[in-house]
Structure 1
């Protein structure tokens, strides 16, 4: 009879002994209550409690946690925008009691403070300023949360504005504005390029005309030099300048006729082109030169009579 009672007692004793020990993982705190009253906070390692008297009521994580809060509000220029605020927080190891007993829903508390700060700061800014000053919004949120949550055992590590999402129509309008601005810049570059091409083309044409004119001037200068030499040669054989000039013109006339005759597929007709045209041209030119000389001599004589000095 005694042996039958001993076995259950041994089993009960083993269970009680086994339940006296428990393990706490790294970065975790365990809260122990004794008869419903807070007793102690146990950290990582092998821990011991009084069976049937002490009870584990909670395991509180000491790792950094993140809470994402999406807030919809209105900017100074009446644009509705959604902001995603990421709050990174941690339970302080020396304030596990406050974190567990004083604040039942920490996520709701943090969310309320984020809403309050964002809806107080963003309406002071225009939409463009919200994008530029998002770090200022994050700092304001962290400052407010740090002061409020520290008493409850929570430390705010960092707050980030991870997303700014304006209304769909506003984003479409912003995209159109950006596209128009880029098109404007592209048109300006194209206009500058076209203007540069026009200027360079005009410079090239001007340079071409200058070189062409220089070439014509050089050509005429050489022709004049050649005529001068031809006249000097003819003067040496007893032909005066008037007759020499007329002879050179007639010679060029026949050279022109010869070049036209050698050309094919041409409809050019040089007038006059009769057989006696050369003789008539020579006679007319000599007569013209003679008349011109006579008029020149007559004008010199009259000028001498007017000015006896």
Structure 2
């Protein structure tokens, strides 16, 4: 009895287990961006997208689960020969996406391996028509040709190739060394050219600066000399005009000369004395003022010979000037002060006219002041 009761219990347990397995196989949950290929008794039944789907247990089966997202595959470097018989190593990256899961499952056994082989053969055909220089500088052109060929071939498999990129193009080591030497030589040549241009510009600017500096310096010296000559000429004119208008007494002039002689003698570099031409006549007046010998009669061209100047004189009693030299110089025959003054005024007028003609040819302003000097003397 106990054995007969255990057998039905085991059968019920097996049925319950079978029901659970059937339910598990009948219910399929498909994630987003995925698709499943369902076969019924070995034949294509349906293509199910994302969601919950119910299958017939032990009748329907899932053949393949396809990822519908865009995939990225990097292929290992492949040796490729260029048109100039150089072997370069190129590795590429493919971006593809499955657009038709049914054809990607039934049209080709392994679409990923097919894409890799098709990429290698197409890359060799494209690179074989280019030399090394074109290969290194034509990445965009190579990518476009590869994508066109791959997209056309994989379209019937339900796959779309969106992009093809070449990660690296590695020429042989010897070629890389030669390219580096060429680039280094080119950079050295450019550096030498730039250095020479810089030195040239620097020398040109330096020469122009020296030229401008010399011109400005010469102009400054010329203007300075002109202004200095004008100042000296005007000072001479003003001094002679002032002396003539003041009608200075020869005795006063001689007294000023006597006061200046000790200062000239005290100079460390004084080697000789300069005695004016009218100094002798002035000393005669001083000697007469001090009680010495005077001329017997007044000079017709000296105003001191008039009656109004009989009592005029210069008091030198408080001075320490040695008058011994006055008596020595009194015997010397020299021009009178009026003659020396007229001669100096003429020389100053001539110098002023020459300076004015050198500065502004034809100008008569300084000459007018010089011509006014004789009129003042006549007064």
Q: Same fold (TM over 0.5)?
A: yes
CA shift, 1:170, in A, is 2.5
1:29-74 deviation line (CA, Å, top 9, x unaligned): 2222333333332222111222222222321211111222333213
Which of 66, 82, 95 lines up with 1:88 in the alignment? 95
CA shift, 1:218, in A, is 5.9
Q: Give 2:111's aligned residue.
A: 106
Q: Distance in 2 between matches of 1:62 and 1:172?
A: 46
Question: Are 1:196 and 2:201 an aligned pair?
Answer: yes
Question: Are 1:185 and 2:182 an aligned pair?
Answer: no
Q: Give 1:154's aligned residue.
A: 159
Q: Give 1:76's aligned residue.
A: 83
The structure having more radius of gyration, on CA atoms, is: 2
1:236-292 deviation line (CA, Å, top 9, x unaligned): xxxxxxxxxxxxxxxxxxxxxx99x69xxxxxxxxxxxx99xxxxxxxxxxxxxxxx
CA shift, 1:221, in A, is 6.5
* Contact residue 73 and residue 82 of structure 1 kept, 8 A: yes
CA shift, 1:154, in A, is 1.3
Query: Residue 155 of structure 2 aligns to a residue in which SS?
Result: helix
CA shift, 1:14, in A, is 2.8
5 Å matches for 1:266-281?
none
Query: Residue 181 of structure 2 aligns to a residue in which SS?
Result: helix
* Contact residue 66 and residue 88 of structure 1 kept, 8 A: yes
Which of 149, 168, 189 lines up with 2:173 in the alignment? 168
Question: Are 1:144 and 2:149 an aligned pair?
Answer: yes
Q: Distance in 2 between matches of 1:143 and 1:213?
A: 78
Q: Give 2:362's aligned residue.
A: none
* Contact residue 32 and residue 41 of structure 1 kept, 8 A: yes
Q: Distance in 2 between matches of 1:15 and 1:198?
A: 97
5 Å matches for 1:202-281?
202-214=207-219
Higher deviation after alignment, 201-210 or 109-118: 201-210
Of Structure 1 and Structure 2, the greater strand share is in 1
Question: Are 1:131 and 2:121 an aligned pair?
Answer: no
Which of 6, 16, 20 lines up with 1:10 in the alignment? 16
Q: Give 2:25's aligned residue.
A: 19
TM-score normalised to structure 2 length: 0.54
* Contact residue 135 and residue 161 of structure 1 kept, 8 A: no
CA shift, 1:141, in A, is 1.1
Query: Residue 46 of structure 1 aligns to a residue in which SS?
Result: strand
CA shift, 1:219, in A, is 7.1
Q: Distance in 2 between matches of 1:154 and 1:31?
A: 16
Question: Are 1:48 and 2:54 an aligned pair?
Answer: yes
Q: May I ask how many residue pairs the two structures share in their alignment?
A: 244
Query: Residue 92 of structure 2 aligns to a residue in which SS?
Result: strand
* Contact residue 72 and residue 83 of structure 1 kept, 8 A: yes
Q: Distance in 1 between matches of 2:221 and 2:34?
A: 101
Which of 107, 112, 122 lines up with 1:117 in the alignment? 122
* Contact residue 71 and residue 118 of structure 1 kept, 8 A: no
Q: Distance in 1 between matches of 2:145 and 2:215?
A: 72
Q: Distance in 2 between matches of 1:221 and 1:14?
A: 126
Q: Distance in 1 between matches of 2:216 and 2:19?
A: 120
CA shift, 1:213, in A, is 4.5
Q: Distance in 1 between matches of 2:212 and 2:74?
A: 71
Q: Distance in 1 between matches of 2:152 and 2:62?
A: 31
